[in-house]
A and B are shown apart, each in its own frame.
Chain A
Amino acid sequence: MVASRKLMSIRRDWRERDVRVVLAALMIAVATVATIALFASQLQRTLVSSASSFLAADRQLEAENGRPIPDAWLTEAQSRQLKTGQMVEFSTMVFGADNFQLVSIKAVSNEYPLRGQVEIQLGPDEPRQLVSSGPAPGEVWINPRLLRLLDTNVGDTLEVGNLELEISGLLVREPDGGFRLSALAPRVMMHADDVPDTGVIQEGSRVEYVYLFAGEEAALEGYYRWLQPQLEPSHEWEGVRDGETFSRSLERAERFLLLGGSLAVMLAAVAVAVASRQYALSQRDTVALLKTLGVSSQGIGRLYLQRLGLWGLAGAVGGLVIALPLYWLLSRLLSDVLERPVDYQLDPAALAPSLLTALVSLFAFAYPPIRRLRNVPAMRVLRSQPGESGREALPDLTVALVAIFGLVWMYAGEVSLVLALLGGLILLLGTLALLGWLMVLGLRKIRGGGNAWRLALVGLYRHRRASLSQISVFAMTLMLAATLILVRTSLLADWQAQLPENTPNHFLINIAPDVVEDVDAFWQDRGQPLDQLYPMVRGRFTELNGAPVKEAVTKDERVGALNRELNLTWMESLPADNEIVDGEWFSPGQTRGVSVEAELAEKLGLKVGDELTFTIGSEKVTEAVTSIRTVQWDSMKPNFYMAFPPGGGLEEMPATWITSFYLPPVNKNALNEFSRRYPTISVLEIDHIIERIQDIVRQVTQAIEAILVLILAAALVVMAAVVSATLRDRQREGALLRTLGGRQSLLVRSTMLEFALLGLFAGVLGVAAAEAAVWALQFRMFEGEFQWHWAIVLPIPLLSAVVLALFGRWQLRPVLSVSPMLLLRRLE
């Protein structure tokens, strides 16, 4: 079967322009989806592991009651294939050469850290290095500030209780840079095995035991289900996704990657659908001939199904061949940004969607027009038959929309996203139908003529079906690309707004009321003004409407806030980033009432008017809820669940003050002077936490840029493919025009104009549809408000007009360089 096999061979196919377009579109589709899926899965791993390293583990269990957890709990975790580690945290006095200092000790077991790395220096002038363990027994690593405070050096000894330990390094950064109140004084890290010998921990000492867990997500969840019923109120289970600061960034990053993936799918679908329709049209003569030679309709169907299968195979293989090096390149880029190697891992689960995409693209988008080839009449060999009116393609459109819906759903797993995109598309298609009708009406009036404008308009009218389908495809492509640009911009802006420059990176805690003004002045003098100072009274929320709160609230709803002392404050004005969602903020002179944070209020079912009683020491304070307000927990400023008005009962309670401020790294030494002058005030350094958040944002930004570039590249190729599909007709027309005496300049001008108009139409429609889709997306997903994005509304239509005009000019090359006769013959 040499001839018929050859007729079906991929190599033979590849030599035909239309097949090349279909195969290229398929390969680009698979490559884009595969690259995005691989990269996204890697990014997720990187992000999660970055975020996990904030805990030095995947989960932490804190025991705030000063007692270790039962051994059985750890044994159970290990039996579930979880890695475990332990830390003991306490404050104590340490002695250096001549000085002593209150420090916060963190004693870690051999396994520490389960995630992330510890950054240390072997001396003040030595380079920083990353290590995957804590100090060995007999050694300590200390905060560099302690060198000055204790007047000591690396290599000296440090007395911790009864034990002398060697200072073997400086602790620059802990992966779990803590936010715990026990970690206020400068940090000293030692080995957990040395702790008993220090004799520091006695019955009743304030000690916190922290347990680290890492392993498979399912195992972690299973373990937590086992553990949960046994936990006491003083136990706190913490996971990355519970951390308020990162969860939102992670969630948005995930959503964006999914959106990128979905758009890639849609682009792929558009490309495959257009190209295969062109291909099917070009095959009608061959099918008619084969039928004349006696091939049955089923035979034709089989033949082309076989061919489709071959393309699918070639597209999938080719796409993966493109995707893998691309993924490798992106991994390298990511690794450069992170300044550490990332694991280059071929996640089969990530490859599956791309292969499924290839399959769906083929059968939902490529198959319908090709299937209709069976109906091509044999009579076509004798006389050209009426072509497709477009009505036959209507069921195709339905199939395509359903398939797109399914694919995007598979990718994004979110109906609202799918509906937003689909809504945008349907709006676009509807507008196109209207536009097409108007175009036909408007252009029908134009007849002949010599000038380029007229020729261009006549050209658009003459090719109205092709023009319309090209406008549709360009508009859709532009819509998808513009949507991505818009979402990316608003996402990045959002992130940057979350952590602006000069975000407070230090907290001052435990400021006694009598030194508040001096402290303020101290930093004012050094050019680092403090943010607002808040009083802080520690108290427990004990009664709700007169009933004990633990009874009033069912066990499921019990939250951490009930298990520990809350920081209560009073304030006159509402912090700028807080927002009242119910009730009213205190009016001037008001001294009664309490304002409750919205999430806590929701969890506990608190409403405006409820009476809350707080136990502060031996006193009780009862106030009615006057407002519910939202709080920006990730603002890096002091935030409070409960706020009272000034002049109320709270002011009589013993209070300390808290504030946050921005201290640039070059001024860090001022902290030493401050600590010496105000030894009782705790300084909480969170600059490294902020650095890490910014790191994550940078990584995600990088990933988004990479994916955007990929999708834009895919969009460009799709556009090129679509225009190429009508290349032959246009070249023939060009040759004819020249034969009939048309000057080259006229031909060039009219063609460029025609394409520019196409580009302009498509650009305007695409941008409008993108704005609509983004509006829907922001409304549903990113909680933003609608606004016109002038940065794209004007440039995209203009750019698309220019690019298409140049593309049209480029297409014209053979028409201008070869004699018209030769060209006509060649095109015959």
Chain B
Amino acid sequence: MNNPYFDLLMWARGPGFDIALTILIGGILLRVVEIVVLGRKKDLAKPKGSPVSQGIKTIFTRSVPRKGMMKDAPVTYIGGYVFHIGFFIAFFFLGAHIALVDDLIGLNWPAANKALIETAAAASVIALLALAWTRVKDPVRRALTRFDDWLVLVLSGLPLVTGYVAVNQIFGDPTLMMAVHILSAELLMIAFPFTKLMHAVTFAMARYYNGSIQGRKGAES
């Protein structure tokens, strides 16, 4: 007699994870290396400013809203911050996730308590819903939104929701829900290199590039 929930969990922890990790790592490298190899045309003009320092500075300054933008699009900015910080806390400070990272790369750090993790996860999901709402409500955003955007939104939210359900055993069998949570994270891993989720890696490259162009021209980025 088998427990199908355990079979699913073992598939998620075994072949499922292997497939997802291979696609994630292979996909990220493919895209990053392709961008680097493609390169840019060399600018032969003498730089008027400092492209390197402005490039590095821009990596960080673009995380701060431009003047007036917070007032113009508060949900986008606040929702964006809350989602990213919440997701970061829920992923990096849950003991089970730290055990995963420890096994993957040998790094270990103290875990946070359940109250903080769950507050962060719940805030993240609420932020995602708010961001989805602005996409529907604002005609410009609605026109700009593609299937890819909805896919990324759903895939980002699923691990948070399923993780919350699995840890608190809100419904479903605990083994099944753990399997579903891992599978939802694996879906995110598979989609990562081929969707806008890739910004988590390329944001630094893109910001540096934009900042360095301004720096080369002698402008403050």
Q: A and B from one assembly?
A: no
